[in-house]
């Protein structure tokens, strides 16, 4: 056994130090990024925020709403070939929108077969290979197999939290490595297993490893407010994936229900008992659930939340003088803090 003494940081442990700036208004800030990839020959341009491939947020309705802002959605892996076909047909007059939707895939043979069917029948560009634990050799081989089958597609793979495994996945064929073990809003991995890594440090370390190889990283999980999304980009994330922050809206799956006069929507982790029962009919005996179910207050149209998030990041950029999102991490100095917020009126808050 060994102990690493250096303190690792989470969103709650840092703030971004403001810097002198010549920017006059947040309207001057451009959040679009343009990326080339290590393996894929494609280029991608847009606002690099991705709705998580959970069955609540990874819906085609969310994809439509986010694509209007050039933002992305990792459609959940349970979407059928027929549903994909319909989505592609409906995009005939707006083909651009297909550049913002990832086809997600687990590591079972049937997942891979479905991925091949979807990618061959429909001209899509983005693949998201997702497992809870990206450290297995089986997953590395799976990434390699996927790269061999799709040499020109953009492949995102994860999740991992350390530099050496980020490198391994990039060398095996990933263009983007998804970073995060345990930070998610409905994740219980840290509770069940004791495994995890504070997200800001994970992003800093994995981005450093990836960028050295012309790879990219996606910070996945743990953002609770727009400021956290800004911190993830400031730490070096090329993309940021959001589950909980986009949950509870009209475009998310699930019905609205009323309890004590208040409207709610159901949200659950993809390894929760609820998700496993829903998609597999049971929880396998050899595994425990590593996710939870929550009822979240219904939040209306996702558009308002999107604007709130983008407005927040634009404002971060003006505070540090970054005219483009690309400059944010270069212009960031994080300061370690012991407190983030003044919560004196928390019990009395009526709106944001
Ligand atoms: P959030 O933005 O809600 O904090 O985090 C979203 C991320 O949590 C997802 O993209 C995924 O990586 C992770 N996640 C989703 N469901 C589960 C789960 O059941 N267990 C664990 N360990 N992580 C989950």
How many A from CA of 20 to the centre of ligand 1?
37
Choose the residue to mutate in 187, 194, 223, 246 for probing ligand 1, maximizing ligand atoms within 8 Å of C-beta: 187
Query: 161 CA distance to ligand 1 centroid (A)?
Result: 14
CA distance 210 to 200: 15
- pLDDT score of 295: 97
Q: 182 CA to middle of ligand 1, Å?
A: 7
Tell how many helices (H) and how many strands (E) occur in the chain.
Answer: 11, 15
Alpha helices by DSSP H, listed for 48-198, are 60-67, 81-90, 109-121, 137-149, 163-171, 189-193
Give the 3-state secondary structure of residue 320. helix
> Which residue puts its alpha carbon closest to atom 24 of ligand 1?
187
How many angstroms separate the CA atoms of 318 and 249, rounded? 29
Nearest atom, ligand 1, residue 245 CA: 2
pLDDT mean by block of 10 residues, the chain; 352 residues: 96 97 90 98 98 98 98 97 96 90 96 96 95 95 98 98 98 98 96 96 98 98 98 98 98 97 97 91 76 97 98 97 98 96 92 77
- Residues labelled as active-site residues: 187, 189
Q: How many CB atoms lie within 10 A of CB 339?
A: 8
Q: Is the dihedral of CA 203, 206, 210, 212 positive or negative?
A: positive
> Cα(87)–Cα(81) distance, rounded to whole angstroms?
10
* Burial of 193 from C-beta contacts in 10 A (0-12 / 13-18 / 19+): middle
What's the pLDDT score for residue 287? 67
Q: Whose CA is nearest to atom 23 of ligand 1?
A: 187
Ligand 1 centroid distance, CA of 180 (Å): 9
According to the model, what pLDDT value does residue 292 have? 96
User: Closest ligand 1 atom, CA of 272?
Assistant: 19
Protein residues whose CB sits closer than 6 Å to any atom of ligand 1 = 52, 54, 132, 159, 180, 184-187, 189, 220-223, 241-245, 269-272, 290-291
> Tell me, what's the pLDDT at 297?
96
Q: What CA–CA distance (Å, rounded) separates 297 from 184?
A: 18
Contact 159, 134 (CB under 8 A): yes
């Amino acid at each position: 056994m060994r102990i690493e003494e250096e303190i690792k940081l989470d969103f709650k442990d840092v703030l971004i130090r403001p810097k002198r700036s010549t920017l006059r208004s947040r309207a001057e800030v451009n959040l679009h990024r343009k990326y080339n990839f290590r393996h894929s020959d494609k280029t991608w341009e847009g606002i690099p925020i991705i709705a998580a491939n959970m069955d609540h947020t990874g819906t085609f309705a969310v994809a439509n709403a986010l694509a209007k802002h050039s933002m992305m959605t990792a459609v959940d892996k349970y979407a059928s070939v027929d549903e994909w076909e319909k989505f592609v047909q409906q995009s005939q007059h707006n083909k651009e929108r297909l550049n913002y939707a990832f086809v997600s895939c687990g590591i079972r043979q049937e997942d891979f077969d479905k991925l091949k069917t979807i990618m061959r029948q429909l001209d899509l560009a983005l693949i998201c290979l997702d497992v809870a634990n990206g450290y297995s050799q089986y997953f590395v081989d799976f990434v390699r197999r996927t790269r061999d089958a799709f040499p020109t597609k953009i492949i995102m793979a994860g999740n991992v939290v350390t530099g050496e495994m980020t490198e391994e996945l990039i060398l095996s064929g990933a263009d983007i490595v998804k970073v995060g073990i345990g930070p998610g809003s409905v994740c219980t991995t840290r509770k069940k297993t004791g495994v995890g890594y504070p997200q800001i440090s994970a992003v800093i370390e994995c981005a450093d490893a990836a960028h050295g190889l012309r790879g990219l990283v996606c910070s996945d999980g743990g953002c609770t407010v727009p400021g956290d999304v800004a911190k993830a980009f400031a730490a070096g994330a090329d993309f940021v994936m959001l589950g909980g922050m986009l949950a509870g809206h009209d475009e998310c799956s699930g019905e609205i229900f009323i309890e004590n006069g208040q409207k709610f929507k159901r949200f659950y982790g993809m390894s929760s008992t609820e998700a496993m029962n829903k998609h597999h009919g049971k929880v396998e005996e050899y595994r425990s659930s590593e996710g939870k179910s929550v009822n979240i207050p219904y939040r209306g149209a996702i558009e308002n939340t999107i604007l709130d998030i983008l407005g927040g990041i634009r404002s971060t950029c003006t505070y540090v003088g970054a005219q483009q999102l690309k400059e944010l991490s270069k212009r960031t100095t994080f300061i370690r803090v012991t407190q983030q917020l003044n919560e004196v009126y928390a019990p009395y808050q009526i709106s944001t």
